[in-house]
Amino acid sequence: MFTRVRWREGYDIDEVNAFVERLAATVEGRYVGAPVTAADIRNVSFTPVRFREGYDVAEVDTFLETAAQGMAAAPTAPPYQPQPPRQLLQPPRFTPVKLREGYDMAEVDDFVERILATVNGVPTDRPVTAREVSTKQFSSVRIREGYDVMEVDLFLEEAERLLSQ
């Protein structure tokens, strides 16, 4: 989407991506939280990065200015007002464990990302089903760091409940 830069100032990639996703959802009428306004676009700020990869500042700023102008010119009442899902599922924060059984962190993170997208109505190439959640098995780890088994299992139970509604 934007040119990636390193060794010169850029914007934090994850922050920009998250804001652009909210902006796209607003324009498309999808619910991912409060709709973005022209004022939000003009007032957004991102963490500057220099020693790690970031997005080109000028490109992002130009995009935001164009988006703000387009949003300001749009009708004040959109024809479709998206309704939030019955209940949004928040990203979990699992406790890392070491030297006792845990679940592989990368596997859990990937699966949780799919669950959050599906439950929260964010478009995904691989939506997850309640059955898939109930039968999911992660690799166990013991020596290297993993996620607390009980916490992950409780999250999966909640996700399965929401997907079954």
pLDDT at 22: 84
Segment 84-102 shows an average pLDDT of 82
Contacts of 97 (CB under 8 A, 6+ apart): 145, 146, 147, 148
For 132-160, write each residue's pLDDT tens digit. 999 999 999 998 999 999 999 999 999 99
Contacts of 44 (CB under 8 A, 6+ apart): 19, 64
Q: Where do the structural domains in the chain lie, given as residue ranges?
A: 4-73, 96-164
Q: What is the spatial distance between Cα 162 and Cα 64, in angstroms, rounded to a whole number?
A: 35
As a whole number of angstroms, the longest Cα–Cα distance in the chain is 58
Q: Is the pLDDT of residue 80 over 50?
A: no
pLDDT at 18: 84
Q: Judge if pTM exceeds 0.85.
A: no
Q: H or E element: which one contains 80? A: none
Q: Rounded to the nearest 5°, which phi and psi values hold at 31?
A: -95, 120
pLDDT band with cut points at 50, 70 and 90 for residue 56: very high
Q: Are 18 and 91 in contact (CB under 8 A)?
A: no
